[in-house]
Structure 1
């Protein structure tokens, strides 16, 4: 890193010069306890105003961050986007930092969440703006901590703290588009097995902070006409970046395990021309038909016999427990393939008041058995907060006539020869749900992305699955109704990947592993520790800023 004296010099030189002391003047009626003193003037001016260069930097940082995520998918741009926001707020007051953070958030979340527009433009815009609000306090915090020595560290911790809050508040949070999810095939990816997604976010933001520090140091040296003064700080920043990359390359990622042959079914969905009931029947029939095709291919010797089969979420929106046709169709397909199938189905709760989003283990001999109920239903999609009020205001919410029930246990259950850990759809974005399901030897993500069409949402979800594979050292089977279905190796490699809106059958022999990664053992501790570090840095920076103002107020 860099020395404390050098960092203090960096922080001090980012601030505008204090105005010269005013000329003595005669007291006036305006003087008194409420009069504005010279120190007060300095306090206001020290915060600075954003100005167009900083405003453009903030706007550009959001767009740059977006380009790091699928479908554009240029991971090195994530640290660049972080660096641009850090440079935008450097030397500014907290209020200006908050404004610049908000601007960055708007230009980041609007394009990265554009797939939500398939539900409705209002849903997309509102969700994007709500997410952007989280970057306002982040910008304020960055403006404060960049005044401290070693500020790239504190800026990185602040990004983790922002994602911690955004992933939990309100309604259980929405941790989509975390920095870590842009780093699914980079030298930073292996760090996921050490400290999970939060550590990858921290290191991505740290790389961005180091880039910002290097750029600012070079700029100051250029302005001073003495480039030699930047040599040591730049060398330190480059050395830290090299250490981050080298450290990631040295972390081993697992590839071996007990071989298990698996199959993933993507039945596809009809897009037009059927009523609601016809849609549900057609989707179920598509998955039944693909499973029977798999059975025929096995009998013909075209593919190896799988030991387990996975269907996606919503493969049957007809409750197989109460709909005899649905039960018989599923049971016949499972008997035909001759191995247990994980069936995604919607079922009624016993009292009929709610719906359960289930992954059901369906055995060819004994029929439906163990099951997992989605524990994190999506607010405003699978359940309605403030239902009585919202249904009167927004007619689209009539499509959610009943709330989805919450499951009360993890998705670890037996499927054929192995235990699996099931998560359903958006749950793959949540650390707690995926960590709980890592108790299985193979992880499964059942999803239904048909609503979002060919937008950025399905490839972003695949990116999350790839990071989770490395984080937990597990093969991950992603089964989607319409795509993207995939088989991901424990080291994050894509072993198979489907197209979108096409039927697909994937059969592969994959490693089943029970060994736990360090990230599994430490759990959420790194995230909370880094968030606490950020909070301590903000408090220290605020106190330091306050003491400087108090000194400035001394007559």
Structure 2
């Protein structure tokens, strides 16, 4: 019965974590979900390593299976469930480690570090990693978001896990009627996290003396009915051209400000202007009409048989610059182990074979240093951080979410963009084919956003922002530090319990 109760609590912990993410956005459930799982792993009759893995795995299933439901609309139920299970394995690894480190001196710190390290592992391996569902991305509306400016997404995840692990430690101490010393570390950890957050907020989204620029985002929309490929591509392109010409009319009539650059979504012109002169002419005419270069999501062919998911900057006289997507989505934009996975789903033959780009992630429309992370790239720390290190003073996330219908995917991705805005101290412009398109301030607030599945455009005047945040300077070293902290916790646990792990029974513990 106790095993079933723990298993149920673990599963509920994962479900609580799911509801912490957008679109529900109940950010405060994230530390409570962690606290519930850690409490299961640190009970009086603590589970074996195998049990710790199992409870962690169940929490992962409770989180990732509902969180990744949008994958079902693209490749079917089996790949969706399969990816959710694979992601849950990393939570199982966390449970295994936490079972060892949760009850030794300094437990909440070691637990939080272990949680962050397993997130790092999931964001790195296999197939380049899958960072979706990191704790940090649940905190766009929470007070801890301010910490992202100083410690980045990995440090923000650590802070959330530390608060959760501390709540678990304090709750366990209360149930056991432990003496006051048992509360010292949990209370100190939560207090220090709160103090650090309060100290960070005044510096988030501070004023900038950079020059003023006006940026427009176009959401042309995609027909919900599925036509043949050629008709569908033409409809999407026409929708975005029409919306751009509508913006140009509003500018001429004085109802909108003149933009310095217009940003289209990813895949807004799947007919490459490099291969179709008529499309190139229509795009150049739109740029001339709106009197600004347009960053267009399309396909670049290099003439050697390779092709790229690209954002090409197009002016009245043609192409100017290009960003080739560097971090490709496995099983969509590239297909690892195609023959093996074909045994499970014939959807693998729908996957593309794009080549990853190698650029700086920065384009320069009208001398505006614009950092670009296309769709999936925003989930990875190195993408927009690399753009900022390359001189970007404003950021954009062009994305195509049409495939995922009316699921929570687009809102989850917007949450990531909000975290990046604070982490890197930049305005972020999200341009989505079907929404949500948004203008995000450097403090993570959404200044304006569209509805989904409608045509619309957004225009916003911002100030360019230079300099590097502490998080941008820190780079991957923060995760290295967290790895060392986790290893210290494991070493202390081994010293505390011995090399062979034997769960304590009540008699031994009371003694």
CA 1:422–1:530: 2 relative to 1, 3 Å? same
Q: Aligned partners of 2:277, 2:70: CA distance in 1, in Å?
A: 36
Residues 1:334 and 2:287 are matched in the alignment: yes
Residues 250-269 of structure 1: matches in 2 within 5 Å? 250-251=199-200, 252-257=203-208, 258=210, 259-269=212-222
Structure 1 alignment gaps of length 5 or more: 1-48, 222-228
The CA deviation string for residues 94-150 of structure 1, in whole angstroms up to 9 with x for no partner, is 111011111111111101111111111112111111111111111000000013101
**Given that residues 255 and 511 in structure 1 are in contact (C-alpha distance below 8 angstroms), is that contact kept between their aligned partners in structure 2?**
no
Aligned with 1:514: secondary structure?
coil
**Cα offsets for 1:421-445 (capped at 9, x unmatched):** 1010010000111210123000110
2:141 aligned residue (173, 185, 190): 185
RMSD: 1.8
For the pair 1:421 / 2:371, whether they are aligned, the reply is yes
Task: From 260, 270, 274, give the equivalent of 1:307.
Answer: 260
Residue aligning to 1:406: 356
Q: Which has the larger Rg?
A: 1
Alignment of 1:145-164 (within 5 A): 145-164=101-120
Which of 318, 338, 344 is matched with 1:387 structurally? Answer: 338
- What per-residue deviation string (whole Å, max 9, x for no partner) do you get for residues 312-342 of structure 1? 1001000110112211111111111011111
3-state SS in 1 of match to 2:369: strand
Aligned with residue 69 of structure 2, among 103, 107, 114: 114
Unaligned runs of 5+ in 2: 505-511
TM-score by length of 1: 0.86
Q: Quick check: 2:106–2:185 contact (8 Å CA) kept in 1?
A: no
Partner Cα separation in structure 2 for residue 497 and residue 388 of structure 1: 42
Q: What TM-score do the two structures reach when normalised by structure 2? A: 0.93
Q: Is the 8 A contact 1:321 1:327 kept in 2?
A: yes
Structure-2 separation of matches of 1:118 and 1:172: 23
Paired with 2:127 and 2:226, the residues of 1 have a C-alpha distance of 36
Distance 1:273 1:115, change over 3 A: closer
Tell me how far 1:393 sits from its aligned partner. 5.7
1:393–1:138: structure 2 CA closer, same or farther, 3 Å change rule?
closer
Deviation at 1:230, TM superposition (A): 4.7
Other-structure match for 2:50? 95
- Mapped to 2, the partners of 1:183 and 1:374 lie a distance apart of 26
- Residue aligned with 1:421, SS: strand
Contact 2:41 2:55 in 1 (8 A): yes
Structure-1 residue corresponding to 2:507: none
Q: Which residue of 2 aligns with 1:317?
A: 270
Classify the secondary structure of the residue corresponding to 1:446. strand
Aligned partner of 1:246 in structure 2 is 195
User: Which stretch of structure 1 is more off in the superposition, 268-277 or 478-487?
Assistant: 268-277
Please report how far the alpha carbon of residue 243 of structure 1 lies from its aligned counterpart in structure 2 after TM superposition: 3.0
Match of 1:237 in 2: 186
Could you tell me how far apart the structure 2 residues matched to 1:393 and 1:110 are? 18
* Whole-angstrom distance in 2 between the partners of 1:493 and 1:302: 25
C-alpha distance 273-59 of structure 1, shift in aligned 2 (>3 A) = closer
Contact 1:50 1:92 in 2 (8 A): no
Supply the distance in 2 between the matched residues of 1:548 and 1:399 (Cα, whole angstroms). Answer: 49
Which residue of structure 1 aligns with residue 320 of structure 2?
Answer: 369
- Tell me if structure 2 keeps the 8 A contact 1:478–1:486: yes
Equivalent residues, number: 493
The Cα of 1:240 is off from its aligned counterpart by 3.3
Equivalent of residue 385 in structure 2, options 425, 435, 439: 435
Offset of 1:70 from its aligned partner?
A: 0.8
> Displacement, 1:237?
3.1
Alpha-carbon distance in structure 2 between the residues aligned to 1:219 and 1:69: 30
The SS at the match of 2:371 is strand
Aligned partners of 1:403, 1:146: CA distance in 2, in Å? 44
State whether residues 50 and 100 of structure 1, in contact with CA within 8 Å, keep that contact through their aligned partners in structure 2. no
| Whole-angstrom distance in 2 between the partners of 1:549 and 1:138 | 17
Give the distance between the partners of 1:360 and 1:208, measured in 2 at CA.
Answer: 44
Displacement of 1:548 after TM fit?
7.7
Task: Tell me the CA shift for residue 254 of structure 1.
Answer: 2.3
Question: Does the Cα contact within 8 Å between 2:215 and 2:262 map onto a contact in 1?
Answer: yes
Q: Is 1:291 matched up with 2:238? A: no
